[in-house]
């Protein structure tokens, strides 16, 4: 028996082909592989496949009646857990754990950029102005509130603590043992009490209805005057109108955004012109760092081996949470 596997968005270099073939070898069945760019996948490509490794347009999965397992390249899976996309018996796994290194370092870059007013100085550079922009703040001695303590949020919290943050507070969805790199840990119910304490609020929340506009007009106005907001999770977690308002009023020191609502951010959005706002086009993760890609491949290869040998898959998606 031969099972057909489609690999999407993974470069089909000889080294990569050999790796996946080796992971699938010696299992309960043989595998044949096809490598297809994500933008070129069609319903016809999926009609007789048993597994998909990579992210395809979610509605296309309904055209795969023999599909047993989907391994995503992404850590978040919210588009794939919506009703009508996958049947309950079809396994869904993700690449959680692959992005912590890259995204946490990007969040650190945004953090340093904000506290050292790099947006202002870049604006001055464009105008060839040799001008100081006044006092700055520091990570050392700061109180940092991290929303979302998965691989990304946890990696950022460890790094920010190592840089001398006085107090690192973590907020997660459910209660669990507090890791050593946190000084305090709470669930989202405590958010209103925590926001006024933080000099920096760093967001690495997943998507879904439970996190939509967590930072809204009410919660943004609870933040300490002059504090900084960083978001590298989902753009939908921050109400864009409320964010623009508090920035224009000078309540926040600034914001660092790798994700926005909507994406792409419209060219006429006022956020583009604010020197205390740093914007990157959702590039903290993806494959820009080679190690991220290698981690994704290792996760997929490990699950491919488990699937062909009838063993339990790792990185299984919690379908109610979407990650």
Active site residues: 234, 263, 282
Burial category of 168 from C-beta neighbours within 10 Å (exposed 0-12, middle 13-18, buried 19 and up)? buried
Answer yes or no: are the C-beta atoms of 221 and 246 closer than 8 Å.
yes
Distance CA 219, CA 229 (A): 12
Distance CA 179, CA 235 (A): 27
Distance CA 247, CA 238 (A): 13
Burial 283-321 (b: 16+ CB within 10 A, else e): ebbeeebeebbebbbebbbbbbbbbbeeeeeebebeeeb
Q: How far is CA 222 from the centre of its chain?
A: 25
Rg (the chain; Cα; Å)? 22
SS3 12: coil
């Amino acid at each position: 028996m031969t099972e057909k596997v489609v690999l999407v968005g993974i470069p089909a270099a000889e080294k990569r082909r050999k790796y996946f073939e080796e992971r699938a070898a010696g299992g309960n069945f043989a595998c044949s592989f096809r490598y297809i760019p994500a933008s070129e996948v069609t319903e016809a490509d999926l009609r007789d496949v048993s597994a998909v490794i990579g992210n395809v347009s979610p509605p296309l999965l309904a055209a795969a009646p023999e599909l047993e397992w989907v391994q995503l390249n992404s850590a978040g899976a919210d588009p794939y857990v919506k009703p009508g996309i996958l049947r309950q018996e079809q396994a869904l796994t993700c690449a959680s754990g692959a992005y912590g290194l890259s995204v946490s370092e990007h969040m650190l870059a945004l953090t340093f950029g904000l506290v050292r007013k790099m947006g202002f100085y870049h604006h001055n550079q464009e105008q060839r102005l040799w001008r100081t922009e006044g006092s700055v703040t520091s990570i050392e001695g700061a109180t940092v509130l991290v929303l979302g303590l998965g691989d990304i949020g946890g990696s950022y919290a460890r790094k920010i603590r190592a840089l001398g943050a006085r107090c690192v507070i973590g907020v997660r969805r459910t209660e669990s043992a507090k890791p050593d790199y946190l000084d305090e840990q709470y669930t989202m119910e405590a958010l209103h009490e925590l926001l006024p304490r933080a000099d920096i609020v760093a967001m690495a929340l997943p998507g879904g209805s439970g996190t939509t506009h967590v930072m809204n007009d009410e919660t943004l106005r609870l933040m300490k005057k002059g504090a900084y907001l960083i978001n590298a999770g989902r753009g939908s977690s921050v109400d864009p109108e409320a964010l623009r308002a508090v920035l224009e009023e000078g309540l926040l020191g600034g914001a660092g955004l790798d994700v926005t609502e909507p994406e792409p951010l419209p060219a006429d959005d006022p956020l583009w012109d604010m020197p205390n706002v740093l914007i990157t086009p959702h590039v903290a993760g993806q494959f820009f760092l080679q190690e991220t890609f290698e981690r994704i491949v290792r996760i997929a290869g490990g699950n491919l081996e488990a699937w062909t040998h009838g063993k339990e898959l790792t990185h299984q998606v919690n379908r109610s949470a979407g990650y």
